[in-house]
Amino acid sequence: MKITKLDYAATGAFSKTITDYLCCSEQLQPFYNRFPTLETFGTQLKEKSFSGAQRKTLHQALQEQYTSISEVNPKVQENIDLLQQPNTYTVTTGHQLNIFTGPLYFVYKIITAINTCRQLKEQYPDYNFVPVYWMATEDHDFAEINHFNLFGKKYTWQSEQTGAVGRFSTKDMEPLLADLPEAYPVFEDAYRNSRNLADATRAITHSLFGDYGLVSIDGDDKLLKKALIPVVEQELTEQLSNRLVEETSQQLEELGYKPQVYSREINMFYLTDGLRERIVQEGSKYKILNTNLSYTLEELQQEAQEHPERFSPNVILRPLYEELILPNLAYIGGGAEVTYWFQLKKLFAKYNLAFPLLMLRNSALYINRSNASRMHKLGLQPQDLFQDYQELKKQLSGQLHEEEINLEAQREAVAAAFTEVEKLAESIDPTLQKAVGAEAQKTINSLQMLEKKISKARDSKHEQTFKQLENLKDKLFPGGTLQERKDNLLTFQTNNPDFIPALVEAFEPLEFKFTVLEEEA
Domain ranges for the chain, please list them: 43-228+314-359, 381-480
Model pTM score: 0.88
Question: What burial class does residue 401 get, using C-beta atoms within 10 Å of its C-beta: 0-12 exposed, 13-18 middle, 19+ buried?
Answer: exposed
32 within 8 A of 40, measured Cβ to Cβ = no
Given strand 2-6, what is the order of strands in its sheet?
2-6, 514-518, 364-367
Calpha distance 85→143 (Å, rounded): 40
Q: How far is C-alpha 8 from the chain's CA centre?
A: 14
Could you tell me if 516 and 477 are in contact, meaning their C-beta atoms sit under 8 angstroms apart? no
Q: Is 24 left (phi over 0), alpha (psi -120 to 50) or beta?
A: left
First-to-last C-alpha distance (Å) of the chain = 9
In a structure prediction context, what are the per-residue pLDDT tens digits for the chain, which is 521 residues long?
899 999 999 999 999 999 999 999 999 999 999 999 999 999 999 999 999 999 999 999 999 999 999 999 999 999 999 999 999 999 999 999 999 999 999 999 999 999 999 999 999 999 999 999 999 999 999 999 999 999 989 999 999 999 999 999 999 999 999 999 999 999 999 999 999 999 999 999 999 999 999 999 999 999 999 999 999 999 999 999 999 999 999 999 999 999 999 999 999 999 999 999 999 999 999 999 999 999 999 999 999 999 999 999 999 999 999 999 999 999 999 999 999 999 999 999 999 999 999 999 999 999 999 999 999 999 999 999 999 998 888 888 777 755 667 778 888 888 888 888 888 887 888 888 888 788 888 888 888 888 888 777 766 767 888 889 999 999 999 999 999 999 999 999 999 999 999 999 999 999 999 999 999 87
Q: Are 164 and 138 contacting, i.e. CB atoms less than 8 angstroms apart?
A: yes
Backbone angles phi, psi at 131, to 5 degrees: -75, 130
Sheet holding 215-218, edge to edge: 215-218, 128-135, 88-95, 328-333, 357-360
Cα 111 to Cα 101: distance, rounded to the nearest angstrom: 13
- Give the dihedral sign, CA 36/39/42/43: negative
8 Å CB contact between 487 and 477: no
